[in-house]
Amino acid sequence: MQRLICFLAFVLSASSAELVIDKPMPAPNWALLERQLLAANSAAAQVYHDKYLDERGYLLHTPRWGTLDGPDDAIETFYNWTLLYALGADQNVLDSYKKALEGHLQQYKELRTVKTKLAENGAYYKEFVTQSDWFHTGEGMRGFMFLGLADPHDQRLISRIRRFAGLYMNEDPEAPNYDPVNKVIKSIWTGSKGPMMHKATTYDWVGDPVPGSFHLLHGPKGRQQLIDLMSVYPKMLAHCAEYLDSVGDHPLNMASTGLATNAYMLTGDPKYKAWVLEYIGAWKARTAMAGGNIPTNVGLDGKPGGEYGGKWWKGTYGWNFTIYDGEIDKMASRNTVEAASWPGFGNAYLLSKGDASFVDTLRKQLDNLWANKKVVNGRTMLPQMYGDPRGYKYSDKAEWYEWTPNLHAPRQTEIYMWSMNPADLERVPVDPWLKYIAGQDADYPEKALRRDLEEIRRGVIQIENDPTSPDTRLADYVQGMNPTEHDALTKLTTGAYLPGNIWTLHARVRYFDPARNRPGLPQDVAALVQKFDANSTTLTVVNTSPVHYRTVYVQAGAYAEHDIVSATVNGKTVPVNNSAIRVKLAPGSGGQMVLNVKRYANEATLRLPWER
């Protein structure tokens, strides 16, 4: 009789895309742990706020310009706080992020440098970094890029995201970063002051020396010992001695598409979508011209290798970026080709409503690496570099080199998450989360949630025992003190996978709380994504409260990009044909839902479900 009542409630309300679940379900351990982890993150963020932010939102540290411990590290400290709020963490997490952002922009606007012109009048101009590379700019903007997930009504965000996206669409005459004719961003160094059209200096990368002793993450003893910065400053400069080639487009610049992608999803203005598809479309064509390899320098003429006589593998942070690192006194290879290309092509895939050619380009890049694999003592090794093994400054010799066990599994997994083609998983070593999704490890959710709870505990203890003072810590030190954890919550509640340091949230589902008019799981509600494939997502939702009714919107996709064709509960299927479904949960109730979905059926948006 009880099952019949549940089913009738579902049918009667299906016309308004509402599902009523009133079947009792004792709260599973994973549900209680999810609620505990959301609460622990909220409390831990407050502990960090109280220790390291002053009343203005200034981070209590010694500010410096540079990419080693500069402004990007300072604001990257809060990289996952907007995400945590969007998942269901408390209001204090979002409020603290916004306070830290405003304080950061003012604090680093006040910075002055002598050795480099880039920050002689402040690190920010028009609230955006004057000039930097998108490896570091992208890291620093992770929290900002997810602010729309947390608060799509924030008018300051909307104004900024329009202005920042315009820096790469030639809408600001002071920042002609983009050439719309050749479809190139003109330099690896860009920002509110425009592109750097000359060689960089080591001071641009490292910044001015600061007198004093610090717990240096880039120093010889690390955070355990105070080091006089002036004593290691020459080594810091030597670290970047060969990072000076700057002119021409670079795959790191694809991270800039995150600005226009968010601007499109916040405003719906088609010019932002058009620019992303134009720019990444140009990269797709260039990659094909380089034999399926993403070129690491593109000339101002739009041609692969244009700044090196057609040698697409050369350039700073490129395929052949094997350099002498004076800090460690040895040769080092630092190829960043995947850091922003995967996010950039992923943004185009999202906005194009699933144009498979963007994923095909990334798959071809990995195919090229696998075609040159070696097996050493039974272990598969892939080349990580291409060009002259002695380094990019030496000759025009070009070959694959530096074989390592790095199989690029996170990037291969991303390809699978987009394509849902099982063949894309054949090269991926066993991943605990994917093993769980395949139904092979029922204990994974509890283990993952308990692991993150333990990491939070350790992080808070580390803060409480921190012996430093603002005059002995730099930005990368305080960044490492952030105690919050998002990994288990992101995977288990939304079915999302977030590798690397530059993000867009590609998720199976997301949740919204109509009672509080906000994103995230409502009070007492827990959710677990248990299975997904190309056409369906299976999840369980639970109301852990024995007293209160709770209502949650379940949305297909982080940005409503997918459509729920129908929902199946207790063996009964009812049509939905909407990007979201409203679920009303009786006290102490829960149930499993199978959402039959059409992926990438909708234009991506950050509007809340009840506003669409």
Q: What is the DSSP string of 52-90?
A: HB-TT--BSS----STTTSHHHHHHTTTTHHHHHHHT--
Arithmetic mean of pLDDT, 42-60 = 98
Asked if the model's pLDDT at residue 7 lies above 80, the reply is no
Q: Which residue has the tokens 């009738």?
A: 8
* 15 has a pLDDT exceeding 50: no
Q: What is the mean pLDDT of residues 295-317?
A: 97
Instruction: Provide the pLDDT for residue 220.
Output: 61
What per-residue confidence (pLDDT) applies to 3? 41
> Is residue 17's pLDDT more than 80?
no
SS3 letters across 420-468: CCHHHHCCCCCCHHHHHHCCCCCCHHHHHHHHHHHHHHHHHHHHHCCCC
pLDDT in tens, 475-511: 999 999 999 999 999 999 999 999 999 999 999 999 9
By CB atoms closer than 10 A (0-12, 13-18, 19+), residue 404 is exposed
Q: Of residues 402 and 217, which shows the higher confidence score? A: 402
Rounded-to-integer distance, Cα 26 and Cα 86, Å:
26
Q: Which residues contact 466 (CB under 8 A, 6 or more apart)?
A: 51, 481
Instruction: Name the residue among 483, 509, 478 with its Cα closest to residue 494.
Output: 509
HEC profile of 287-305: HHHCCCCCCCCECCCCCEC
What is the radius of gyration, based on Cα positions, of the chain?
A: 25
Query: Which residues, 6 or more positions from 219, have their beta carbon under 8 angstroms from its beta carbon?
Result: 227, 229, 232
Q: What domains appear along the chain, each with residue ranges and CATH number?
A: 2-27+508-611 (2.60.40.1180), 32-348+368-487 (1.50.10)
Tell me the pLDDT tens digit for each residue of 121-144: 999 999 999 999 999 999 999 999
Q: Average of pLDDT values for 373-397?
A: 94
Q: Residue 16 above 70 pLDDT?
A: no
